[in-house]
C-alpha cells in the first residue's frame, strides 16, 4: 500500500502545509516592513525598538520575512525528502505564533529588554531547526544534513545579531553571516529545484538540450562559494576575499548557464527561477568589486543583490 503523505486533517487549508500560511504571512510582512522602512529611515516614524533604523530593517528582512519563507519551504519539502508526515494543524499554528511573537518582541524591545527580545525572537528558528532535525534523523535522510547546517547558521546569526546590537550598538558580523547562510541555502535548494523543474518542462514542451545533472562541477562551485562567503564574513575588506568572491561569481554564473535557462523563455514560471538565481553570481561579483573599488561600488549593493 502507498505510504500516506498527509494525516487526516479537516481544519483550515492554510494549516495543512507549512508553506501556505508562512508564505502568506511572510510576504505580507515583507510589504509592511518596506512601507514602514522609508518613514523610519527618514525619521518620520519612530518605534519602541532597541535597534537603530538600519538594523531593524536588516533584522526584520533576514530573520522576520526570510525566516518565515525558509520555514514554510522546509516544513513542506523535508517531509517529501524523508518520507515523514508534515507538521499540520495545531503544531503548525504554534510555530506561526512563535514567529509572530518574535516580530512583536522586536517591535517592543525597548520595553522588553534585549535578552527577553533575543529569547523570544530566536525561539522560532530554534524550534524549526529542531523540527527539521527530527525529520532528518527519523527518516535517516543524512544527505540533507547540509540544509540543517545552513539553518543552524541562520539561527546563530540571529542570536549574534541581538548580542552585537546590545554590545556594539549596531550589527556587523551577524548581518553578513545571515546573508551568507541564506545564500548557501539558495545554492543548495536552488541547485535541486531549478534543474529539476527545467528538465521536466523541457522534456514535455521543448525537447533538446537538458540541464546538466548535479556533479563534481556543482560541488566545487558551491564549495568555493562557501569559502568566499566565509572570507567575506571574517575579512570583508581584504583583497584575497575579493578574489575568492570573483571566482565564486564566475563559477556560479557558469553553473546557471549549465541549467539551460535560455531554452525556457516560453514559460515565465520556469524562466523566473533562472532570473532569480542570477542574483547569486551578480551579488558575489558586486561584493568583490566593493572591496576592489569601494568608491565606485558600495558594499550594500552586493548585499542587496544577494537578498533579492
| 151 close to 63: Cβ distance less than 8 angstroms | no
Same domain, 181 and 158: no
The count of other CB atoms within 10 Å of the CB of residue 161 is 26
Same domain, 140 and 256: no
In a domain? residue 47: yes
| 96 close to 21: Cβ distance less than 8 angstroms | yes
User: What is the rounded average pLDDT of the residues 194-222?
Assistant: 96
Which of 17-21, 100-104, 248-252 has the least mean pLDDT?
17-21
Same domain, 177 and 101: no
Same domain, 98 and 65: yes
In a domain? residue 3: no
- Using the Cα atoms of residue 246, residue 149, residue 24 and residue 112 in order, give the sign of their dihedral: negative
Task: At 147, give phi and psi (nearest 5°).
Answer: -65, -40
Distance, in Å, from the CA atom of 160 to the CA atom of 172, rounded to the nearest integer, reads: 9
Three-state SS at 4: coil
Same domain, 191 and 142: no
Distance between first and last Cα of the chain: 43
In a domain? residue 8: no
pLDDT attached to residue 141: 78
Distance, in Å, from the CA atom of 16 to the CA atom of 6, rounded to the nearest integer, reads: 8
Number of domains in the chain: 2
Same domain, 17 and 162: yes
pLDDT at 5 over 70: no
pLDDT at 12 over 90: no
- pTM value surpassing 0.95: no
In a domain? residue 153: yes
User: What is the rounded average pLDDT of the residues 129-153?
Assistant: 88
Which of 148, 169, 190 delimits the end of a domain? 169
Same domain, 194 and 296: yes
User: What is the rounded average pLDDT of the residues 16-22?
Assistant: 92
Same domain, 146 and 88: yes
In a domain? residue 7: no
Distance, in Å, from the CA atom of 138 to the CA atom of 78, rounded to the nearest integer, reads: 11
In a domain? residue 237: yes
In a domain? residue 160: yes
pLDDT attached to residue 79: 83
Which of 78-92, 127-141, 200-214, 215-229 has the least mean pLDDT?
78-92
pLDDT attached to residue 3: 47
Query: Cell 547562510 identifies what position?
Result: 181
In a domain? residue 145: yes
Indicate the angle between helix axes 89-107 and 18-41, nearest 10 degrees: 10
User: What is the rounded average pLDDT of the residues 133-159?
Assistant: 89
Percent of the chain past pLDDT 70, that is, above it, reads: 97
The count of other CB atoms within 10 Å of the CB of residue 208 is 8
Same domain, 113 and 225: no
Same domain, 157 and 197: no
User: What is the rounded average pLDDT of the residues 114-126?
Assistant: 97
For 69, the domain range is: 13-169
Same domain, 18 and 138: yes
Which of 4-13, 69-78, 129-138 has the least mean pLDDT?
4-13
Same domain, 138 and 237: no
Burial class (CB in 10 A: 0-12, 13-18, 19+), 150: buried
pLDDT at 2 over 50: no
Task: List the helix and strand counts (H, then E) for the chain.
Answer: 13, 0
Neighbouring C-alpha atoms within 13 Å toward the C-beta of 269: 4
Amino acid at each position: 500500500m502507498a505510504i500516506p503523505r498527509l494525516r487526516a486533517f479537516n481544519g483550515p487549508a492554510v494549516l495543512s502545509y507549512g508553506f501556505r500560511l508562512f508564505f502568506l504571512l511572510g510576504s505580507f510582512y515583507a510589504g509592511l516592513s518596506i512601507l514602514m522602512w522609508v518613514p523610519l529611515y527618514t525619521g518620520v516614524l519612530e518605534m519602541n525598538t532597541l535597534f537603530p533604523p538600519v538594523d531593524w530593517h536588516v533584522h526584520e528582512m533576514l530573520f522576520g520575512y526570510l525566516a518565515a519563507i525558509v520555514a514554510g519551504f522546509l516544513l513542506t519539502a523535508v517531509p517529501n525528502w524523508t518520507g515523514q508526515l508534515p507538521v499540520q494543524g495545531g503544531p503548525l499554528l504554534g510555530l506561526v505564533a512563535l514567529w509572530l511573537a518574535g516580530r512583536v518582541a522586536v517591535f517592543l524591545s525597548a520595553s522588553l529588554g534585549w535578552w527577553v527580545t533575543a529569547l523570544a525572537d530566536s525561539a522560532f528558528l530554534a524550534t524549526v531547526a529542531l523540527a527539521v532535525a527530527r525529520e532528518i534523523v527519523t527518516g535517516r535522510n543524512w544527505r540533507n544534513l547540509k540544509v540543517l547546517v545552513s539553518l543552524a547558521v541562520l539561527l546563530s546569526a540571529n542570536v549574534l545579531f541581538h548580542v552585537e546590537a546590545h554590545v556594539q550598538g549596531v550589527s556587523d558580523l551577524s548581518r553578513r553571516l545571515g546573508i551568507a547562510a541564506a545564500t548557501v541555502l539558495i545554492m543548495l535548494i536552488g541547485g535541486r529545484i531549478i534543474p529539476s523543474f527545467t528538465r521536466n518542462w523541457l522534456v514535455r514542451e521543448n525537447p533538446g538540450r537538458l540541464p546538466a545533472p548535479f556533479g563534481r562541477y556543482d560541488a566545487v562551485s558551491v564549495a568555493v562559494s562557501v569559502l568566499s562567503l566565509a572570507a567575506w564574513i571574517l575579512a570583508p575588506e581584504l583583497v584575497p576575499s575579493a578574489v575568492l568572491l570573483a571566482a565564486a561569481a564566475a563559477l556560479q554564473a557558469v553553473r546557471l548557464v549549465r541549467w539551460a535557462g535560455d531554452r525556457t523563455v516560453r514559460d515565465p514560471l520556469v524562466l523566473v527561477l533562472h532570473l532569480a538565481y542570477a542574483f547569486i553570481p551578480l551579488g558575489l561579483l558586486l561584493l568583490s568589486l566593493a572591496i576592489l573599488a569601494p568608491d565606485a561600488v558600495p558594499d550594500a549593493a552586493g548585499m542587496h543583490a544577494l537578498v533579492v
